[in-house]
């Protein structure tokens, strides 16, 4: 989801207010925001702080923390960059959809580092990046490398994701489920990877077990916004908007969850639907004004399922799919293309799915 310049076809944002009193407080920054008088002194301190910012951004859905991480990395001398800092910088690049830059840094660590723990982390991060972009052959290479040097649930989850998206989801699910059940005493991180992957594959297969796996993830990590959004989307598609409302309570600051919540409220004719819609209108208008289109998937979903603007939805979904080809991205493009009557886009996606032998219960639009 790179910040791509696109012609805006939605309403223009309101005029930007510039006349403020000198003493007026315009915004309160998060308590963890970096201040100029406390820069880190060592590479380890710098890495710890960048990692904390990335964790906050992931758990709160607040992109300002990505800005704090970027500012710190920009000020850190290049000659003092460590393997860990390169990996964290690549993780930030991926979050900001600078995929080529992320890939370059991770490849450098894998090829040059003598620290096994860092090469393992770099391989895992690169495998995830390749999966997000639908580049399954290089993803498999990294997963195989990971399985060689760091066998276990995380490597098994990595391999299962590739296998599921390239023609063998049932085998991938069964293998990983057996591996997970046998992994007594596994650490929390490994269990999170396994349960999250099992949920994704179960949803791909259309299995009701998907919900159970996602809920296990949220018991272990309530702030896992990715899994919360996946579960909310699953519940919405299963026709349970009330459960979506409950699951997304107090998460309106997160675009992906707020959009799914708005869709559920619209379906229920909820009394609070207009307020949330107005808030999202303002939020997305500001993002377009700033040229900050990191969340084109959310913009497309909002245009399609809340505003009913099929052409705008298709524009954003198509641009998003150029960089991100996870199942939700693919399904959204198919739905938007179908709604807009764009047979060429549907044909393009079908051809890509066929090349990778990818099937998914969430892709009813691929059925002839």
What per-residue confidence (pLDDT) applies to 37?
54
Taking the C-alpha atoms of residue 161 and residue 173, their distance in angstroms, rounded to an integer, is 9
* Greatest pairwise CA separation for the chain in angstroms: 64
What per-residue confidence (pLDDT) applies to 1?
33
Taking the C-alpha atoms of residue 333 and residue 122, their distance in angstroms, rounded to an integer, is 30
Domain ranges of the chain: 44-146, 152-219, 223-292
pTM of the model: 0.86
Taking the C-alpha atoms of residue 358 and residue 292, their distance in angstroms, rounded to an integer, is 32
Q: What are the phi and psi torsion angles at 53 (to 5°)?
A: -65, -45
Taking the C-alpha atoms of residue 251 and residue 264, their distance in angstroms, rounded to an integer, is 14
> What is the assigned CATH class of domain 44-146?
mainly alpha
CA-CA distances (angstroms) from residue 228 to 156, 244, 254, 318? 23, 10, 11, 24
Q: Which residues contact 179 (CB under 8 A, 6 or more apart)?
A: 153, 156, 194
DSSP 13: P
Query: Taking the chain, what is the end-to-end CA distance rounded to the nearest angstrom?
Result: 29
Contact 83, 41 (CB under 8 A): no
Taking the C-alpha atoms of residue 242 and residue 106, their distance in angstroms, rounded to an integer, is 42
What per-residue confidence (pLDDT) applies to 61?
81
Contact 73, 50 (CB under 8 A): yes
pLDDT tens for each residue of the chain, 368 residues long: 322 222 222 232 333 333 434 444 434 445 555 444 588 999 999 999 999 999 999 888 888 899 999 999 999 999 999 999 999 999 999 999 999 999 999 999 999 999 999 999 999 999 999 999 999 999 999 999 999 999 999 999 999 999 999 999 999 999 999 999 999 888 999 999 999 999 999 999 999 999 999 999 999 999 999 999 999 999 999 999 999 999 999 999 999 999 999 999 999 999 999 999 999 999 888 877 666 666 789 999 999 999 999 999 999 999 999 999 999 999 999 999 999 999 999 999 999 999 999 999 998 654 54
Taking the C-alpha atoms of residue 359 and residue 34, their distance in angstroms, rounded to an integer, is 45
Q: Strands (DSSP E) along the chain, which ranges? A: none
Taking the C-alpha atoms of residue 118 and residue 12, their distance in angstroms, rounded to an integer, is 46
What per-residue confidence (pLDDT) applies to 39?
87
What per-residue confidence (pLDDT) applies to 20?
39
Element (H, E) at 60: helix 43-60
Taking the C-alpha atoms of residue 206 and residue 158, their distance in angstroms, rounded to an integer, is 20
Contact 89, 75 (CB under 8 A): no
Taking the C-alpha atoms of residue 364 and residue 368, their distance in angstroms, rounded to an integer, is 9
Taking the C-alpha atoms of residue 126 and residue 91, their distance in angstroms, rounded to an integer, is 9
Q: Which residues contact 352 (CB under 8 A, 6 or more apart)?
A: 134, 325
């Amino acid at each position: 989801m790179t910040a791509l310049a696109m012609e805006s076809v939605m309403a223009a944002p309101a005029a930007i207010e510039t006349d403020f009193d000198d003493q007026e407080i315009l915004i309160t920054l998060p308590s963890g925001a970096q201040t100029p008088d406390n820069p880190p002194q060592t590479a380890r301190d710098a890495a710890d702080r960048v990692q904390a910012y990335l964790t906050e951004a992931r758990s709160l859905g607040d992109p300002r923390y990505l800005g704090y991480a970027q500012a710190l990395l920009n000020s850190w001398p290049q000659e003092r960059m460590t393997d860990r800092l390169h990996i964290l910088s690549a993780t930030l690049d991926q979050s900001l959809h600078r995929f080529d830059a992320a890939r370059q840094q991770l490849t450098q660590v894998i090829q040059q580092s003598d620290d096994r723990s860092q090469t393992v982390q770099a391989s895992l991060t690169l495998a995830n990046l390749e999966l997000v972009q639908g580049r399954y052959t290089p993803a498999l290479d990294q997963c195989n490398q990971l399985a060689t040097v760091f066998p276990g649930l995380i490597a098994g989850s990595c391999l299962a994701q590739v296998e599921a998206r390239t023609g063998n989801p049932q085998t991938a699910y069964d293998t990983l489920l057996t591996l997970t059940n046998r992994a007594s005493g596994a650490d929390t991180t490994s269990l999170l990877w396994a349960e999250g992957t099992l949920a994704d594959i179960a949803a791909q297969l259309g299995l009701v077990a998907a919900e159970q796996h996602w809920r296990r993830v949220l018991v272990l990590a309530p702030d896992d916004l990715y899994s919360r959004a996946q579960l909310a989307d699953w519940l919405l598609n299963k026709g349970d908007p009330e459960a979506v409302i409950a699951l997304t309570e107090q998460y309106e600051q997160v675009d992906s969850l707020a959009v799914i919540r708005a869709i559920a409220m619209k379906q229920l004719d909820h009394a609070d639907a207009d307020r949330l819609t107005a808030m999202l209108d303002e939020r997305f208008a500001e993002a377009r004004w700033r040229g900050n289109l990191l969340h084109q998937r959310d913009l497309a979903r909002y245009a399609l399922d809340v505003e009913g603007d099929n052409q705008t939805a298709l524009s954003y979904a198509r641009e998003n799919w150029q960089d991100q080809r996870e199942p939700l991205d693919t399904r959204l493009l198919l739905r938007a293309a179908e709604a807009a009557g764009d047979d060429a886009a549907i044909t393009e996606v079908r051809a890509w799915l066929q090349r990778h032998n990818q099937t998914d219960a969430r892709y009813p639009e691929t059925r002839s």
